Amino acid sequence: MSRVSPGVVSGASYTALIKACHEGGYALPAINVVGTDSVNAVLEAAARNGSDVIIQVSNGGARFYAGEGLPDAHRARVLGAASMARHVHLLAKEYGIAVILHTDHADRKLIPWLDDLITMSEDEFKATGKPLFTSHMLDLSTEPLEENLATSASMLKRLAPLGMGLEIELGVTGGEEDGIGHDLEEGADNAHLYTQPEDVLKAWELLSPIGTVSIAASFGNVHGVYKPGNVQLRPEILKNSQDAVQKATQSGPKPLPLVFHGGSGSTIAEIDAAVSYGVFKMNLDTDIQFAFAHGVGSYVLEHPVAFQHQIEPGTDKPMKSLYDPRKWLRVGEKSIVERLDEAFEILGSKGRSVARKS
């Protein structure tokens, strides 16, 4: 197994990490972050579990990271994503693990956001030899396949010289993710949630010669958590896609780096099946949001007076030590770490970091 330097990976270190996941039969959790609290919790959890990790930000998360007070939403999305990236670059080495730094769903209207971030990576590459991000996601899954792939190819041609990768989506992941997608229609015929292997093959044959590409192939997965029975996962679609590419390209087994969107709420059996079919990245957002909220909410319920009064009525005791944001934010961080302990274990990445130890 190839070792890489701790910190944000790109180029050869990025492909080495994907290869390690493939050969080791495990996957990495990909966590959507919205501020330094969630970033730090993810880094802490990865280091504590001896695992590498994927940190990603959506357009809305980037907007929030920069501050809702900034009047130019596009500029805020760009600066927020860049600020998050620099925060991770600064700290990831200290935690001693390898980090894939990624942006989540961007549809057609958000291409200008990615274009500006890629320009930043081009400038960073000229100055340091490394890009700002490891990879970006372009989600044109609701468009005709030919348009999806043509635009993806154009973007990958910009990314490849920087050692960056592109994640695309084929088929539609149900549910809504930060303004991208639509709510799952209960009882409806959701055939669009299942990717066709021939589409995956077409994408792979066009894009893989250009650069590093990963594919979010939909197999009934959705964003968010729904009532049991409303989501019918068919991980065998991933196997069929792998088999189609292997046969056509005469490659080794499971040649595709696959991505599992909507991992929150999935059963261990479903996750195990997806990973066994070549998934190296599983997105976790809803579960992590709930973990943070549950931790903070429990703290508030334990100390309700501190969130209503600076001085406790009746005793005149100062409540500052309880409402200090560092106290309840830290509880939220710990709750994220505990949820990620479980994720690293289930995905099989615990104790398998490829980061070179000092």
The annotation places the binding site for dihydroxyacetone phosphate at 224, 262-264, 283-286
- Asked whether the beta carbons of 167 and 215 are under 8 A apart, the reply is yes
Structure tokens at 301: 């319920």
Classify residue 210 by burial, with Cβ atoms within 10 Å: 0-12, 13-18, 19+. middle
Spatial CB neighbours of 84, under 8 Å, sequence gap ≥ 6: 33, 39, 55, 57, 61, 62, 65
Residue showing tokens 């195990």:
272
- Asked whether the beta carbons of 333 and 37 are under 8 A apart, the reply is yes
Give the strand pairing for 180-182 and 175-177. Answer: antiparallel
104 has catalytic annotation: yes
Structure tokens at 1: 């197994």
- CA distance between the termini of the chain: 17
d(CA 130, CA 356): 18
Structure tokens at 340: 């990620």
d(CA 196, CA 208): 18
Structure tokens at 33: 């972050």
Catalytic residue of the set 37, 72, 104, 272: 104
Q: DSSP labels for 254-271?
A: S-S-EEE---TT--HHHH
Position 12: which residue type? A
Identify the CA nearest to 87 among candidates 41, 19, 127: 41
Which residues are part of a known binding site for Zn(2+)?
Answer: 105, 139, 169, 223, 261
Identify the CA nearest to 354 among candidates 98, 134, 15, 99: 98
- Residues marked active site are found at 104
